[in-house]
Chains A and B, each alone.
Chain A
Amino acid sequence: MVTDDLVVAVRPSGRRTRITTRFVTQHTRRRRHTPATWLRGGGLSALVFALPAIFVFGWFSWLPIVKSVVMSFQKTNLIVTTWVGLANFHRVLADPLLPIAIRNTLWFALLALVFGFPVPLVAAVLMSEVRRWKGLYSVLAYLPVVIPPVVAVLLWKFFYTPGPRGVFNQLLGSVHLGPVLWLQDKAIVMPALVLEATWAAAGGTIIIYLAALTSVPAELYDAAEVDGASVWGKVWHVTMPHLRGVLFVTFILQILATAQVFNEPYLFTGGGPSNRTLTVLLLIYNYAFGTSLGGRYGEATALSVMLAVVLAILSVLYFRLTRRWSTS
């Protein structure tokens, strides 16, 4: 419902009486909505202006999504196509690699949440407290985000070289430790991937937190100090409540991103060793492009559809559960 106040606010130079009259007139017209009124009201202009965006979005985003859903019910090598009903879904669900991929994805997500979620928060809080060189720290924190992901992974792959010649192993060797098989040891490979992923992504989250932290009124910290609050008390009782909304958003974004982790396992290990880093998205990729003679596109899209549905349900549940907390 539009109010007079809002109209005045939008047109501060207008005359109050005249504006109110116009509002009433528009309200009456809206009730008698016809193509002619839509045309006169600028509907066509809006549509023409929106058309390029609608076209681009529809062509490059929605059409592939629709085609993927359709393909999940087909067996195709992109030349010969047959309808197979739910067979692709049945084959994917019966694939012994699926539970392995789900388990690995959950393991990556858990590690990324345990290590990757608090690190940017702590870094942002510390950086917000720094008085000098704040810009430099921000640049250093954001620098990994600027590096293309493939380049970053190749760089870290060099660091992770097994044997005593690897960069990290040379560092460990200087204190008589290692060498560690960073990407070959089944127990270490996933934390190694999470370490790189955290390094690569933390900068963006830090910037978001830093921006949110600037919105915390300084008077609250002053009041907390007057009340005798410790540093931890100020963080817990002043900073965190103000960051809560941002934290909820970054948390769900983190879950969505980790559920779709692909770059690290694909580029570091190809899913190995022995499927220990095979994630759901990498499994989808392998279905589609793992062999040279007509990939299992139907199964790839079937698993994609299932993943999208699960993530959508997860997102809805998350926002419903946290709606009350995040708006308080």
Chain B
Amino acid sequence: MRSSRTTALGMAGALAIGLLAACSSTGSPTSPTTPADAGPTTPAAAAPVTITVAGNLPGASQENNDQLDARVKEFEAKYPNITIQPEEYQWLATTFTAQLAGGTLPTVFEIPVTDGKTLIENKQLANIDAQVKANLSYYNDFNPAIVGYGQDSSGTFFAVPAKNFYANALHINRNLFKQAGLDPDKPPTTWDEVRQDAKIIHDKTGVYGFGQMGNGATGGWQIAVDVDSRGGALEKANADGTYTATLTDPAVKASLQWLASLAADGSIDPDTSLDWSGINAAFASGQFAMFTSGSDVYNAMVQTNNMTADWGYGLTAVPTENGGAALGGGTLAAVKANATDAEKDAAVKWIDFWYLSKLRDKDQAVADAKVAVAAKQPVGTPVLPIFSKSQYEQSLVWIKDYINVPLENMKGYTDVMFSQPVGGEPKMATQAVYQLLSPVFQAVLTDKTANIDKLLADANVQAQDAIDHPAAS
């Protein structure tokens, strides 16, 4: 009896100690093993290092994952001391902060350009200046319009442009255009024409002519696209460095009135819960004929929504008026703040290999394209140049035999992509301002009696409050 009691006591004690040990060994997720802003040191060249990297979108096809696996093997063959562990990754405003704070982001992760400066100021990104300058011989060649998003005020690199830079464009379902008697090779070029075509498509096919994101911050993001294209802005920079919310700008009202007119026509999808991935899925399933989003979302629709080159996809430019522009955006590749020097070195090598070398080096461009084509992945989707226009065009020449996206259906965009002005997103409290606009958009779409002036005036007060009281300090 005594023996079993002693054993049980011992086991209970061991369990308690084990739990304590398990928790203590985890350590603080934000406690760096090497200070993030410590000066550069030379990493041991052959020391084994393992890093996790942002991989494919959740729900990516097997072919897409095969492509990534193949490139990882090539990378590991080139750098035998580095082990790459890809993780599913999709930047979402709602989960990114928690992942960042909880230390669950991969070593190499992607962020939108609008978040770069604040994350640098908050010391939430690793200083990779030494590694960038050591590994990326072309670091001076980045497009000067975008490279600054990943640098602090002194020009130190904390993130580098990667993956894609895009302008918002109008995505169309060519089959629905044809079914409605419209010529998909002559897509709409003004917002009035978009409305007319949307109504014709709805009347002739019963399918909604237009759809727009309305969930969370994505609703406001797309209102910003509408507003920029009409020559308006959601914020105004003041001479003293402060910002004023301008949600009462006439272009904002005009955008919402245009959406209300589509709702009155019954030609816009009333589903206001669509977000970035949701609208891709809805469009790919034929739920509506047109929507605006980044020029590169064809890639995501192929990778996660089973879209194929013969699906009937078409791309054209966002209509602009009154000196408006197509709202731009892009992705930076960054490294976890608590990465060691060896991890940072491996991370930058991976960024070079996975994101950038295919734009700079013919052999890498061809190798990447070969793997992508073999895995039935899209090659050649039009994006804005990360370096220069000539460099971008050169990279397309290298892979011209492998381009498998329906470029002939994208001429409405590719013909103007370098001449159309590209606008920037609001600089202050961007996500908060976007979030405030989503309910306004939803109200306009679901309530015929919605008072747009009042809704915008109320939202403007809250937007100014968000600008004046930023959440992150």
Q: Which residues of A contact B (CB under 8 A)?
A: 45, 48-49, 51-52, 55-56, 59, 75-80, 82, 91, 96, 161-164, 181, 183-186, 268-275, 286, 288-296
A76 to chain B: which residues have CB within 8 Å? 473
Which one, A45, A79, A272, A292, contacts B30 given CB within 8 A? A79
| Chain B at the A interface: SS class | helix
Contact of A272 among B5, B439, B462, B473 (CB under 8 A): B439
B contact residues around A52 at 8 Å (CB): 12, 15-16, 19
Contact check: which of A79, A96, A270, A275 meets B123 at CB < 8 Å? A79
Contacts of A77 in B (CB 8 A): 97, 101, 122, 471-473
A185 touches B97 (CB 8 A): no
Q: Does B67 contact A (CB under 8 A)?
A: no
Are the C-beta atoms of B273 and A293 separated by less than 8 Å? no
User: Which chain A positions have C-beta within 8 A of B123?
Assistant: 79
B256-299 interface code vs A (CB 8 A; 1 in, 0 out): 00000000000001111101000000000000000000000000
Segment touching A, from B88-96, B229-237, B388-396, B414-422: B88-96
Tell me, in angstroms, the Cα distance from A51 to B119 when the chains sit together.
41
Is there an interface contact between B443 and A294, defined as CB atoms closer than 8 Å? no
Q: Which of A55, A183, A295 contacts B471 (CB 8 A)?
A: A295
> What CA separation (Å) do A163 and B206 show in the bound complex?
9
Interface size class of B (residues with CB under 8 A): 35 or more
Known: A48-B13, A268-B273. A293 touches B462 (CB 8 A): no
Q: Does B70 contact A (CB under 8 A)?
A: no
Q: Assuming A79-B124, A274-B446, A275-B439, is B216 touching A290 (CB within 8 A)?
A: yes
Q: Which residue of B lies closest to A267 (CB)?
A: B273
Interface residues of B in 438-473 (CB under 8 A from A): 438-440, 442-443, 445-447, 450, 458, 462, 469, 471-473
A100 (CB) vs chain B CBs: closest residue: B439
When the two chains form the complex, which single residue of A55, A75, A80, A296 contacts B20, counting CB atoms closer than 8 Å?
A55
Is B371 interfacial (CB 8 A cutoff)?
A: no
Q: Give every chain A residue within 8 A of B272 (Cβ-Cβ).
A: 184, 269, 272-273
Asked if B271 and A296 make an inter-chain contact with CB atoms under 8 angstroms apart, the answer reads: no
B12, A296: Cβ atoms under 8 Å?
no
Q: Which of B95, B439, B447, B471 has the most C-beta atoms of chain A within 10 angstroms of its own C-beta?
A: B471
Let me know if B244 is at the binding interface, CB within 8 A.
no
Q: Are B446 and A96 in contact (CB under 8 A)?
A: no
In the complex, what residues of B have CB within 8 A of residue A270's CB? Answer: 215-216, 273, 275
Q: Name the A residues within 8 Å of B469 (CB-CB).
A: 91
Mask of B12-37 contacts with A, CB within 8 angstroms, 1/0? 11011001100100000010000000
Tell me, in angstroms, the Cα distance from A273 to B97 when the chains sit together.
25
Report Cα–Cα, A63/B271, bound state, in Å.
41
For A271, what are the chain B residues with a Cβ–Cβ distance below 8 Å?
Answer: 439
Query: Is residue B214 within 8 Å, beta carbon to beta carbon, of the partner chain?
Result: yes
Write out the residue numbers on chain B whose beta carbons fall within 8 Å of the beta carbon of A96. 458, 462
Q: Chain A interface mostly helix, strand, loop or mixed?
A: loop
B217 near A291 with CB under 8 A, answer yes
Q: Are A269 and B270 within 8 A (Cβ)?
A: no
Cβ–Cβ < 8 Å partners of B30 in chain A? 78-79
**CB within 8 A of A273: which of B19, B96, B443, B471?**
B443
A-chain residues with CB within 8 Å of residue B91 when the two chains form the complex: 292
Which residue of B19, B93, B429, B431 is within 8 Å of A55 (Cβ)? B19
B308 at the binding interface (Cβ < 8 Å)? no
Is the Cβ of A184 less than 8 Å from the Cβ of B445?
A: yes
The reply to whether the CB of B432 lies closer than 8 angstroms to some CB of chain A is yes
B residues less than 8 Å from A49 (CB atoms): 8-9, 12
Chain B residues closer than 8 Å to A275, beta-carbon distance: 439, 442
A-B contact count (CB 8 A): 143
Asked whether, in the complex, the Cβ of A274 is within 8 Å of the Cβ of B270, the reply is no
Given contact pairs A56-B19, A290-B435, A296 touches B471 in the complex (Cβ within 8 A): yes
Distance from A77 Cβ to chain B, minimum over Cβ atoms (Å) = 4
**Chain A CB within 8 A of B98 CB:** yes
Of all chain A residues, the one with the shortest Cβ separation from B30 is A79
Contact A273 B93 (CB under 8 A): no
Known: A272-B439, A290-B216, A293-B97. A163 touches B208 (CB 8 A): yes
Please give, as numbers and ranges, the residues of chain A lying within 8 Å of B94 by CB-CB distance. Answer: 289-290
Does B115 belong to the interface (CB within 8 Å)?
yes
Are A292 and B93 in contact, CB atoms less than 8 angstroms apart? yes
Q: Are B431 and A51 in contact (CB under 8 A)?
A: no
Nearest residue in B to A81 (C-beta to C-beta)? Answer: B473
Closest 7 CB pairs of A and B: A294-B472, A291-B431, A274-B443, A78-B101, A273-B442, A292-B93, A77-B472
CA distance A244 to B442 in the complex (A): 44
Q: Does B118 contact A (CB under 8 A)?
A: yes
- Return chain A residues, CB-CB under 8 Å to B124: 79
Among B119, B217, B462, B473, max chain A CB count under 10 A is at B473
Residues in B whose Cβ lies below 8 Å from that of A55: 16, 19-20
Can you list 16 A-B pairs with a CB-CB distance of less than 8 A?
A48-B12, A49-B8, A52-B19, A55-B16, A79-B122, A184-B270, A268-B273, A272-B215, A272-B272, A289-B95, A290-B93, A291-B217, A291-B435, A292-B96, A292-B431, A293-B119
CA distance A200 to B91 in the complex (A): 31
From A48, A164, A185, give the contact of B16 (CB < 8 A): A48
Give A116 Cβ to nearest chain B Cβ, in Å: 23
Q: Please determine whether A82 and B473 come into contact, CB atoms closer than 8 angstroms.
A: yes
B23 and A59 form a contact (CB under 8 A): yes
Find out whether the CB atom of A293 lies under 8 angstroms from the CB atom of B472: yes
